Amino acid sequence: MDKAKSTTSLLRVDGLTRRFRTSKGVITAVGEVSMTLDRGESVALVGGSGSGKSTLGRLIARLILPDAGTMFLDGLLIRAGRRPTRHERRLVQMVFQDPFGSLNPARTVADQVMRPLVIHGLHRGHERQRASELLEQVGLSPGSEFLDRFPHSLSGGQRQRVAIARALAPEPSLLIADEPTSMLDVSIRLDVLRTLRDLTEHKVGLLLITHDLASARYLADRVMVMQEGSIVEQGPIGQVIDAPQHPYTQQLLAAVAHQSPRRTQMERPHA
Ligand SMILES: Nc1ncnc2c1ncn2[C@@H]1O[C@H](COP(=O)(O)OP(=O)(O)O)[C@@H](O)[C@H]1O
Ligand SMILES: [Mg+2]
C-alpha cells in the first residue's frame, strides 16, 4: 500500500506541480515545489498575487490534485493524482480568507462545528459539548453562548474564529490558513493571528498563506517566498526579513516599508 515511513517531518513535499489550462494557454501555477513542515511548526508562505500560494495550499490540503510530485503526510506517502482517502482529508484542514462566504448562513454555529465531528465519528454522543470546547479554544467564550447563533449575528472576526474551530474539529495535524485576516478589521487581526499561533503549542503544524510580511513575522518560525510558482527563498523569519537574499523578497519588503505604518504593532512580542 501507500504506507511508508517518512522522515520526522509532518509534511514533506517533493516536486509538486500543478498546471491550469487557461484562455492564454497552459500556466504552471505551482512548479516542482519541495518543502517540509514539522509538527508544531509555523511556516509562512508569502508572495504577490498570482504567485501560486493558494494553489500550493489547496494541493497540500488535497482539495485539488497535482499533475506531478509526491507528498508525505504524517508518515503516509501520497502519490500525485490519487484521490485522497477520508483519513488524508482529515489530516489537513484549511481556513479561507472570506469569513462571510465560508460559513453556511442557514446553519447554526453548533451545526457547522459539529458536522466534521459527525463525519469522522469523533466524540460520539458528546458532539455539542466538544463544539463548545472548540469555540472556547479559539476565543469564543463561553462556547455555549455561541452554539445556537447564526453567522449573520456574528462579527467578521467571530465568524473567522468559528471557521477555525470547525477546521480544528477533525483534529488535523496541519492547518492551512489562506489569508485568514486580510478581510478582517485591522483592529482584530492581531487577536486572530494570536489564536492561530496558540494552536502550534498543541503540536498542530501551521501554514500561513499571506501577502503580508508583518503577519508572517508575528506568527511564523520560518518563511517561504513564492514567485511564479516557485519557492525562491526560505529561512528563519527574522533572517529573511533582516537580510533578504532574493531580489523578489527585497521588493516585497520594500513594498511593506511603504505601505504599513502599523508594522511595529505586529512585531513579535519577544523578538
Ligand atoms: N482553477 C484555476 N483555473 C485556472 N487558473 C488558475 C486556477 N487557480 C489558480 N489559477 C492561476 O494560477 C496562478 C496562481 O494562482 P493562486 O494560486 O491563486 O495565486 P495566489 O494565491 O498566490 O494569489 C494564477 O495565475 C491563477 O490565475
Ligand atoms: Mg491566494
Cell of 90: 482529515
Percentage of the chain with pLDDT > 90?
77
Does 270 have pLDDT greater than 90? Answer: no
Phi, psi of 19 (to 5 degrees): -110, 155
For cell 448562513, the residue is 105
Task: Give alpha helix (H) positions in the chain.
Answer: 53-60, 86-91, 109-119, 127-137, 156-168, 186-199, 213-219, 237-242, 247-259
Cell of 193: 493571528
Distance, in Å, from the CA atom of 146 to the CA atom of 105, rounded to the nearest integer, reads: 14
Residue 219 or residue 267, greater confidence: 219
* Secondary structure (DSSP) of 171-185: --SEEEEESTTTTS-
Cell of 1: 500500500
Q: Is the CB of 27 under 6 A from ligand 1?
A: yes
Q: Is the CB of 173 under 6 A from ligand 1?
A: no
Phi, psi of 124 (to 5 degrees): -55, 130
Q: Tell me what pLDDT residue 271 has.
A: 37
Q: What is the pLDDT of residues 139-162, one digit of tens each?
A: 999 999 999 999 999 999 999 999
Structure-derived torsion over alpha carbons of residues 13, 206, 260, 249, reported in degrees to the nearest 10? -20
Residue 34 inside a domain? The answer is yes
What's the total number of domains in the chain? 1
Nearest one of 2, 12, 31, 35 to 235, comparing CA atoms: 35
Does 125 have pLDDT greater than 80? Answer: yes
Residue 72 inside a domain? The answer is yes
Q: Is the CB of 122 under 6 A from ligand 1?
A: no
Q: Is the CB of 49 under 6 A from ligand 1?
A: yes
SS3 content of the chain, % helix, strand, coil (to 5): 40, 25, 35
Q: Is the CB of 22 under 6 A from ligand 1?
A: yes
Ligand that comes closest to the CA of residue 51: 1
Is residue 160 within 8 Å of 192, Cβ to Cβ?
Answer: yes
Distance, in Å, from the CA atom of 80 to the CA atom of 142, rounded to the nearest integer, reads: 43
Which CATH number belongs to the domain containing residue 32 in this structure? 3.40.50.300
Residue 4 inside a domain? The answer is no
Residue 1 inside a domain? The answer is no
Ligand that comes closest to the CA of residue 27: 1
Distance, in Å, from the CA atom of 147 to the CA atom of 157, rounded to the nearest integer, reads: 16
Q: Residue 197: which domain range?
A: 11-266
Q: Picking from 20-24, 34-38, 198-202, which range would have the lowest pLDDT averaged per residue?
A: 198-202
Q: What is the pLDDT of residues 102-124, one digit of tens each?
A: 899 999 999 999 999 999 999 99
227 alpha carbon to ligand 1 midpoint, in Å? 12
Residue 5 inside a domain? The answer is no
Ligand that comes closest to the CA of residue 24: 1
Phi, psi of 8 (to 5 degrees): -80, -10
Q: What is the pLDDT of residues 52-73, one digit of tens each?
A: 999 999 999 999 999 999 999 9
Q: Tell me what pLDDT residue 212 has.
A: 85
26 alpha carbon to ligand 1 midpoint, in Å? 12
Q: What is the pLDDT of residues 2-19, one digit of tens each?
A: 444 445 799 999 999 999
Mean pLDDT of the chain, nearest integer: 90
User: Number of helices and strands (H, E) in the chain?
Assistant: 9, 10
Q: Is the CB of 64 under 6 A from ligand 1?
A: no
Residue 80 inside a domain? The answer is yes
In terms of phi and psi (left: phi > 0; alpha: psi -120 to 50; beta: otherwise), the region of 252 is: alpha
Residue 6 inside a domain? The answer is no
Atom 1 of ligand 1 has which residue's CA nearest to it?
20
Residue 258 inside a domain? The answer is yes
Task: Give alpha helix (H) positions in 120-234.
Answer: 127-137, 156-168, 186-199, 213-219
Does 99 have pLDDT greater than 90? Answer: no
